[in-house]
Amino acid sequence: MYRCFHHFSTLPLAFVRRTATNSYVNRHIAPSAAESISMPRIIGKEILSDRMTAVIPENILRS
């Protein structure tokens, strides 16, 4: 049985195979490489450290 459906052990296997498709995984696991490049540009924080300091409170960031 597919790993993502292990808790649905009572479902018929045919249903699980029909619903566990690669298209779901490709769309929802992570952004594409192009999206990963464009998203930081959109918010104006291309450098990782700039993004971190913008969203993580200073007392947590410094600890």
Q: Over the stretch 5-15, which tens digit does the pLDDT of each residue have?
A: 555 555 555 55
| Rounded Cα–Cα distance for residues 51 and 59 (Å) | 16
Domain coordinates in residue numbering, the chain: 3-61
What pLDDT, on the 0 to 100 scale, is given for residue 62?
A: 82
Hunting for tokens 């969203």 — which residue is that? 55
Of 52, 19, 37, nearest to 4 (Cα)?
19
pLDDT at 29: 72
The confidence score (pLDDT) of residue 23 equals 54
Chunked in runs of 10, what are the mean pLDDT values of the chain (63 residues)? 52 53 59 88 90 90 80
Share of the chain above pLDDT 90, in %: 16
Give the whole-angstrom CA distance, residue 25 versus residue 13. 19
